[in-house]
Amino acid sequence: MHTTIRYAWGQSSLGDFIAARSERGLVMFEFSDRRAASLDALRERFANADIVEDAAGLGGTVAKLAGLIDHPEQDIDLPLDLHGSDYEQRVWEALRAIPAGKTTSYGDIAAKLGNPREAREVAEACAANTIAILVPCHRVVKKDGSLSGYRWGFTRKRTLLSREQKAVAFELA
């Protein structure tokens, strides 16, 4: 079966991003500091697919994602088409269970998956994630609770967590 991946660029309060969809759902939502590098990564990840720019067709998706960046605590209805190893898929599902405004450690995720010694493997799965916010690797922190790396930048991670925590606190008030 031949696959077509459609993509579009978006702008947000945290910078530009690329959004890409297959017929099944979102395959990439990444902050992009260098468009050429982001497009190369998309082409490499889907080497056997037709990669087509479709700003008009993805306008609604881009608008939803831009809104999500400002309000990362919100749920949006976008189907995902996750591509990764079985282990990465398990980690990403565990990440999706972390509520907005909360954090957990790499070791805690590893323990939930059955092997508490696999914190490094969990970190690697987070680094392989191509769908920002909706697969919330920004909610994973070090064992001591301090912030760790984020493939799209430490400042973005801190900002997303802060936005979520403020929104959750506002909902409770």
Report, as residue numbers or ranges, the catalytic residues.
Answer: 137
Contact 51, 43 (CB under 8 A): yes
Contact residues for 94 (Cβ-Cβ < 8 A; gap 6+): 109, 112, 113
Cα–Cα dist 68/75, whole Å = 8
From the number of C-beta atoms within 10 Å of its C-beta (0-12, 13-18, 19+), residue 123 rates as buried
DSSP readout, 91-127?
A: HHHHHHTSPTT--EEHHHHHHHTT-TT-HHHHHHHHH
Query: Is 113 exposed, middle or buried (CB count within 10 Å of its CB: 0-12, 13-18, 19+)?
Result: middle
Answer whether 95's CB lies under 8 Å from 109's CB.
yes
* CA Rg value for the chain: 16
